[in-house]
Structure 1
Amino acid sequence: MPVAPGSPSELRRLTELSSILIRYGFGDFLRYAGIDQIVEKAGEILHRKSPGEAEDAPAPVRMRKALEDMGPTFIKLGQILSTRVDLLSPDFILELEKLRDHVPTLPFEDLVVEVEAELGRPIREVFERIDSVALAAGSIAQTHRARLKTGEEVVVKIRRPGIRGVIDADLRLLTRIARFAARRFEDIARLHPEAIIREFANSIHTELDFAIEGRNAETIAKSFEDDPTIGTPKVFWDWTSEKMNVQAFIDGVPGSDRAAVDAGGFDQKAIALRGANAVLKMMFEDRFFHADPHPGNVFYLPGNRLVFIDFGMVGQLSRQRRDEMVDLLHGMVERRADRVTEILLTWADADERQNLALESRIDAFIDRVHGVALDRLDIASLTRDLFSAMRDHDLALPSDLTLMAKAFASLDGMGRQLDPEFDMVAVAEPFLHRQMLGRYAPDRLARKAREGAAEGVELITGLPRDLRKLLQMAQRGRLRLGVDVVQMEHYLDRFDRSITRLTIAIVTAALIMGSSIVMSFSGAKMPIGLSVFAVTGFLASVLSGFWLIYSSWRSGGRR
């Protein structure tokens, strides 16, 4: 059942989260946002204890620790924010990338309650053997090694019972906070916080459904079915569902184990090149890619083969977005700052009035990198600089592109870890070249011509019908012209408050002048009623003056 706005359970959770933020030195943020007042007005008392040593740590470290203490929803939110290089500075991105699910292992009997209810029988009857000791434990799931009755060694990923309800409750609260922040603070509104929370909600709901992860793995596996050097774990669909995922056990060396990789006798340069080519193929040719190809999500097998795992986070690009990305890179090579700026503004759905300032910044950026040898370009640094320019101009990217940027950075880091001379730009160049040529291939041009002709015919043939509907609406008096002025309600409210203050200020001034004139009489004895009126008017004017000062101060804090 949905939690009503301001319900006791929601307020208790808000108080808990606020206390964590205060403990890590973010109390000023709560006061600035007015959240502490919301909680206190509801009768809750925040525990304003001294943050102690936590406050001495850098802000990115404190944010990471606070998110870890807040629980699974906020750990996942931090992981999503670590992909938003267009919103956060590099020091925050690097720290949020360290977020891990530090949670105790759930006893096996408690873990399998929901899965057994779904199976209709004990889970041990499904497998010949399943280990009670977990391979790994996270806030959403635990993994256990097992063997099917057909003999295959597998890894079983089981969702923690009750986790969906916890996450859904937190998402409702986050949605309300984002809506509140967007309405109250113009700087935050420009970052589209509600859209970020919607993106996050879609991402975490996808991650909660382990069947989707299985389908993602098979989609990528199909793309490499003719390449024996790239693989993904086989999914056993007889036992895979929303709450449980069963995949083949990979008997290889995890990329995160540097000592084992060095001792394994692998050709690390060949592995780096194969991994980069695989991910770039996913991006530019398949347009469906692993969004987090860091060393922990890759296993190395004999023969310098690679197996990608964990497909909970994937990215998907439309043909148009892929072509825009190619145009952006081509515009940088050709020193077309105007074209690069146009694409960035289109992505951010931004006002063209920002064009001139951003174009000047992009022009300087292109001048700095133009002419530099390919092997000396640092693509991770270039990405950070480009998105830094977007942050400075309050521009945000669509989620598919932030995932692509995240994948590029992870891929570049993994490549350099394996091969210090790894050149991401040189590896990517053939893919970009093929895409540029492919856009003008005869079959591509013919398809675009057919699509354009079909749309033109549809527009022309549908025009009389649309005009008839328009005229009928006008004849019936149902034709209306609507003008939606963005944030007009907000400005009208501020104007109304200003008029109210002005009216009180005039009345206060009149009271001061009137009472001063009356009290200045000397000589004849002043009637008692008149003197009381003078003193009362003076006191009222003083109180009104204090109220005006306080109201103006409060209003200034909200802007």
Structure 2
Amino acid sequence: MRDTLLAVHDVGRLQALASILIRYGFGDVVRRLGLSRTIARAGKLLPLAQLETLVALPPQVRVRRALEEMGPCFVKLGQLLAGRVDLFPPEWIAELSALQNAVPPVPFASIRNEINEALGVHPEAVFASIDEVPLAAASIAQVHRARLPDGCEVVVKVRRPGIRPLIEADLRLLQYAARKIEARFPDLRRFHPAGMARHFRDSLVRELDLAAECHNAERISASFADDPRMLVPRVHWACTNERMNVQDFVDGIPVGDLAALEAAGLDRRAIARTGAQLVLKMLLMDGFFHADPHAGNVFVMRDGRIAVIDFGMVGRLSKARSAEVVNLLFGLVERDARRVTDVLVGWAGRADVDEDQLAIDIDAFVDRYHAVPLGELNLASMLLDVTALLRAHRLALPADLAMLIKVCLTLDGLGRSLDPGFDMAQQARPFLRRAMAMHYSPAAIARRSARFVSESIQLLATMPRDLRRLSRAIRGGGRLRMHLDELHEFGTNLSHSANRLAASMVIAALIVGSSITMTVKGGPTLLGLPLFAFLGFAGASAAGIWLLWSIFRSGGGR
């Protein structure tokens, strides 16, 4: 019932999205999601020649182009999937990575109205000047350079008008699609589509809150308070809220502008080392990190400091997850295939894994890295090998770990662009040693042991009560209830089929009864026919037309 109401509520947007998918040759996916009527309506709008041209493209190209046409929510989804090297082969990752977040800018008059509504006053009352030409225009927000009355140069990031309702509608449809995928595509359940949709929704809703981005920036800035190599723009909270934020303007050189870095006399090798050390500290020590450190978000100041902007997308690693990463690295270095297998199977969260074969493959994998000093490991290559192994065994990583791997690969690529001889493993070595030392220190082991004992005591204390409840339920005739979405859907379809069969029998009875009535002499007539026979045939005809129409509408007439 919830899905039906969702489709009705967002029917216009649903039909537009279905039209795009069908145009790029994904009509079967739309049909299997239970949207047959949408196919029937949308299909009439598609020129056959254009459809044939688009379908001839490689599937990854069609997916990328479809996501771009579907709007900002789906562009963000594609960018998220571009980091899932554990799910997609390299050619798909390369194509999804080409998704462009840049869109045509919103006219400044609309941005001015947004600022007015966000602050309750005209922009001129807050800013001494503001450039009408944007510095950048992305799918969610637009950035303009401005100056405060005290002369401070700032950037004003304003949410695009009307973007929130559109994204919220698309997120509802994505969650609807994820539930349908789990129900109708059994092979895809191992990827937990509904869980991925929830994670994506939470991430995108946080990104819509431009004040939350500033909280992220201040949290990371605080963790580097004693490190002069890192610069995070200062937030002007008096002008910041959910719909807009204001931060200091960073007058630095984009890290991807190699010629400008050379002209400024900056040491590219030193920049690569410093940037790697800053990000690795976030990843391995703090557990809270910038999740999108691409070249457009990193600048180099003329004094050599690294400035990072745009903290809308951040990643979090719990202490337990960080310990698992350390355990994985420890297993790789010690050539302990069983330890590595246990970590990967635990991350996948599946019981139907061939652990023996996985252990054999991992043993061959770790053999390639055996006796290689940690400082000489190519971490980017190793991570890609791990994800290829996961794909071969149809395993998926948790979302936070997939984000961590994406950051590591981005960092490695950025470092090599600055310094062709860049070795991320060499930079990671002291952080890994410190993390492993902390994890296996006597104090850490004592804390984990105390926690294990406490949890065990709690479990033993509650076990008798739980067993008594279970025993009483069994003696009292209690039942164990299970809810299966697939079984519920099957029952619903079976009920519809039974209703149609009953209607068919009633129609047949009306026709037979009316035929018998035709042979009876006397009684009232209509148009020269016995009245009751005429009414019976008319009722049977109307019911038959209704039955055929209901079958056609449900897609059963294919």
Aligned-CA RMSD value: 3.2
Report deviation, 1:41: 5.1
For residues 328 and 167 of structure 1, do their structure 2 counterparts lie closer, same or farther at Cα, with a shift above 3 Å needed? same
SS in 2 for 1:50: helix
Q: What is the letter of the counterpart of residue 158 of structure 1? A: V
Distance in 1 (CA, whole Å) between partners of 2:378 and 2:357 is 25
Contact 1:345–1:352 (CA<8 Å) still a contact in 2? no
Deviations 1:26-71 (A, max 9, x none): 445546x366623145687341533465445433233222211111
Contact 2:279–2:289 (CA<8 Å) still a contact in 1? yes
Whether 2:242 is the aligned partner of 1:242: answer yes
Report deviation, 1:121: 1.3
Distance in 2 (CA, whole Å) between partners of 1:199 and 1:150 is 42
Distance in 1 (CA, whole Å) between partners of 2:356 and 2:484 is 25
Distance in 2 (CA, whole Å) between partners of 1:325 and 1:359 is 18
What is the aligned partner in structure 2 of residue 77 from structure 1? 77
Distance in 1 (CA, whole Å) between partners of 2:416 and 2:12 is 47
Contact 1:3–1:10 (CA<8 Å) still a contact in 2? no
Q: What is the letter of the counterpart of residue 50 of structure 1? A: A
Matches within 5 A, 1:171-250: 171-250=171-250
Deviations 1:81-118 (A, max 9, x none): 11211111121112212212342211112123243223
Distance in 1 (CA, whole Å) between partners of 2:360 and 2:308 is 41
Report deviation, 1:310: 0.9
What is the aligned partner in structure 1 of residue 526 from structure 2? none
Whether 2:49 is the aligned partner of 1:50: answer yes
What is the aligned partner in structure 2 of residue 285 from structure 1? 285
Q: Which runs of 5+ in 2 are unaligned?
A: 497-554
TM-score when normalising by structure 1: 0.81
What is the aligned partner in structure 1 of residue 118 from structure 2? 118
What is the aligned partner in structure 2 of residue 522 from structure 1? none
For residues 493 and 429 of structure 1, do their structure 2 counterparts lie closer, same or farther at Cα, with a shift above 3 Å needed? farther
What is the aligned partner in structure 1 of residue 334 from structure 2? 334
Deviations 1:285-309 (A, max 9, x none): 1111111212211110123210111
Contact 2:23–2:54 (CA<8 Å) still a contact in 1? yes
Contact 1:211–1:245 (CA<8 Å) still a contact in 2? yes
Contact 2:153–2:248 (CA<8 Å) still a contact in 1? yes
For residues 369 and 463 of structure 1, do their structure 2 counterparts lie closer, same or farther at Cα, with a shift above 3 Å needed? closer
How many residue pairs end up in the alignment? 499
Report deviation, 1:352: 5.1
Deviations 1:119-155 (A, max 9, x none): 2211221111111111111121100011112321110
For residues 439 and 46 of structure 1, do their structure 2 counterparts lie closer, same or farther at Cα, with a shift above 3 Å needed? same
- Decide which moves more: 443-452 or 171-180: 443-452
SS in 2 for 1:96: helix
Q: Which runs of 5+ in 1 are unaligned?
A: 498-553
SS in 2 for 1:190: helix
- Decide which moves more: 310-319 or 432-441: 432-441
Distance in 2 (CA, whole Å) between partners of 1:7 and 1:495 is 22
- Decide which moves more: 235-244 or 463-472: 463-472
For residues 178 and 468 of structure 1, do their structure 2 counterparts lie closer, same or farther at Cα, with a shift above 3 Å needed? closer
Distance in 2 (CA, whole Å) between partners of 1:185 and 1:211 is 39
Q: What is the letter of the counterpart of residue 47 of structure 1? A: L
What is the aligned partner in structure 2 of residue 413 from structure 1? 413
What is the aligned partner in structure 1 of residue 145 from structure 2? 145
Distance in 1 (CA, whole Å) between partners of 2:436 and 2:292 is 26
SS in 2 for 1:262: helix
What is the aligned partner in structure 2 of residue 430 from structure 1? 430
- Decide which moves more: 153-162 or 420-429: 420-429
Distance in 1 (CA, whole Å) between partners of 2:429 and 2:321 is 18
Distance in 2 (CA, whole Å) between partners of 1:490 and 1:337 is 42
Distance in 1 (CA, whole Å) between partners of 2:97 and 2:422 is 22
Contact 1:213–1:311 (CA<8 Å) still a contact in 2? yes
Distance in 2 (CA, whole Å) between partners of 1:418 and 1:481 is 61
Matches within 5 A, 1:112-511: 112-351=112-351, 353-372=353-372, 377-459=377-459, 477=476, 480-482=479-481
Distance in 2 (CA, whole Å) between partners of 1:309 and 1:222 is 15
Distance in 2 (CA, whole Å) between partners of 1:4 and 1:391 is 35
Distance in 2 (CA, whole Å) between partners of 1:445 and 1:8 is 55
Q: What is the letter of the counterpart of residue 99 of structure 1? A: L
Report deviation, 1:257: 2.1
Contact 1:292–1:407 (CA<8 Å) still a contact in 2? yes
Contact 1:217–1:311 (CA<8 Å) still a contact in 2? yes
